[in-house]
Structure 1
Amino acid sequence: MTDTAKVWPTELRLREDKKTLHIAFDNGEEHDFSAEYLRVCSPSAEVQGHSPSQKKTVPNKRNVGIMKMEPVGNYAVRIHFDDMHNTGIFTWTYFLDLARDKDKHWGGYLAELEEKGLSRD
């Protein structure tokens, strides 16, 4: 596996529908991320909490969009979602983790929704 600390994005492109973010990396990897996936996996304290026991399950985000992105130093971007959430700082390493372990992250999220009687809608 590639050392994620040395992987650098070469392209960040928000699709016209504002629902998909495309990222290409200098190691040849390219990934598409739905706005919903990024929103429910936001690295913010509001979603992740300050410990694993404080992690929140965020329902009703199937139709969330991305309004804008802004650079944070040279290591991350802050994503502004149209539900006004904007406190997550997405590092290049975190994007790679979300892409490479999508089944774990997304599957865990769907299981949490079901367990708590919540919905994506």
Structure 2
Amino acid sequence: MKSVQYLEMLKEKNRINDAELSRMLNISKAAISQYKSGVRVMDDETCLAIALQLNINPMEVIGAACIDRAEKSGQKSLWEVFMTRTANVKSAGVSAALIFAVVGIFLTPTPANAAPVLKAENCSIYIM
């Protein structure tokens, strides 16, 4: 359970207990317990929230959760190789590109959530 280490890091950094951690991440105390016991693996949104709180590359936490989530040994090996290669990349441009790609996935509104563009009468300003 590689992803659980990030929960522990966040607890230590903020000197908080599981109840306070669950409030910080906006998840239930039961979810924290299930992550720690291995019953559940963190979803990508929780991984992203943890990474933002720790000020680390989100792919580090997401990759750890993917390793935990992988059931087939072939998939697990693939994620372990990916994470090793990602950790070895020292280029800030590549790291920034990964972060923006991951954040873009979560923050891009779906067409149903995007606000319509309206044009006011006799005005050249568009209201969004």
Same-fold call, TM cutoff 0.5: no
Of the two, which has the highest radius of gyration? 2
- Normalising by structure 1, report the TM-score: 0.27
**More helix by percentage:** 2
TM-score, length basis structure 2: 0.26
